[in-house]
Amino acid sequence: MKDKIDSLVLSFKNRPAAFVIYKIEDMVGKRHKIADIPHRHNYYSVIWSFSATGKHYIDFKEYPILPNHIFFVSPKQVHQIFTDPGPTGVIILFTQEFLVSNSIREDFISNLKLFHDSGETPPLPLTDQMVNNLRTFSDKMMETFLSVREMKTETIGAYLKLFLIECNSHCSLFPGNNTQGIEVGRSMVRRFKNLVENHYFEWHQVKNYAAVLNVTPSYLNDVIKLALNESAKDYIQNRLVLETKRLILFTEKSSKEIGYDLGFEDPSHFSKFFKNNAGLSINKFKEIHVSQ
């Protein structure tokens, strides 16, 4: 079974519009555990633990793996999984092109509150009712994926969309009952995060983003703090630190080259910035992670 899944995953990686679903226990065996290395993909991953326990590192932040919790990992995010023996669950992999090829709008994922390019990526805890609903969709996806029925990918796409919508309906950014205020806040957070993703390497100050969003830096900080539990400044700096870590891990560039790519003209300023925000020096980070 593991050889078959390995073949499916390899085939998936070589196809732009692709989807794969498989059971964790079929991949690792009933008595074994997962001991991963830091890696990243160019596709979306949904990792649902039925009974697995352990640790999941996403963009170098540690989250516990607990029964009936779902992780949503975006393309380019660095992640690493360690489980105790005998994990059970399901893993769903799909590309943006798969969604588009099945008439699911390109902005569908970005409008969800599940996937994040950076920042906190905690798992979604499931209630018993959510488990029942989601198992129906995942079982249907698995059944269809293993079948040779007509309109196979369209059927999978429909169940995947229902699965993600069900998860999204239980994931809230803003508490409270002020619906209009909540929606305005969500829109601003979404626009801010998109701007940061596109300009973090050239815009390092909150005022750059506030100007585009037509609000004051103070107001932007308040909205981001409420939604993400960190200021806009911290979010920008954390994005820079995260990209530094990714580039250290997955490129051969020197710290000077990385700093220049991220908008730092002075290498010493960049090194100081990283140490102040990451809590360790660039050399120490390399020593800990690159040697793995």
pLDDT value of residue 14: 63
Q: Does 251 reside within a domain?
A: yes
Whether residue 199 is contained in a domain is answered as yes
Examine the domain organization and report whether 114 and 206 are in the same domain: no
Report the CATH number that the domain containing residue 238 is assigned in CATH. 1.10.10.60
> What does the DSSP assignment read for the chain?
-HHHHHHHHHHHHT-SS-EEEEEHHHHH-SS---B---B--SSEEEEEESS--EEEEETTEEEEE-TTEEEEE-TT--EEEEE-SS--EEEEEE-HHHHHHTT--TTHHHHSSS--SSS--PPEE--HHHHHHHHHHHHHHHHHHTS--TTHHHHHHHHHHHHHHHHHTT--SS-SS-HHHHHHHHHHHHHHHHHHHHHTTT--SHHHHHHHHTS-HHHHHHHHHHHHSS-HHHHHHHHHHHHHHHHHHH----HHHHHHHTT-S-HHHHHHHHHHHHSS-HHHHHHHHTT-
Q: Residue 241: what pLDDT?
A: 94
Range of the domain at 128: 2-168
- Domain shared by 112 and 147, yes or no: yes
Residues of the chain with pLDDT under 50: 173-182
- CATH number of the structural domain spanning residue 142: 2.60.120.280
The confidence score (pLDDT) of residue 3 equals 57
pTM, rounded to two decimals: 0.77
Q: Are residues 80 and 191 in the same domain?
A: no
Residues 268 and 215 occupy one common structural domain:
yes
pLDDT score at 178? 42
Domain count, the chain: 2
Residue-wise pLDDT tens digits, 183-230: 556 788 889 999 999 999 999 999 999 999 998 999 899 888 888 888
* Confidence at residue 106, expressed as pLDDT on a 0 to 100 scale: 72
| pLDDT (0 to 100) of residue 179 | 42
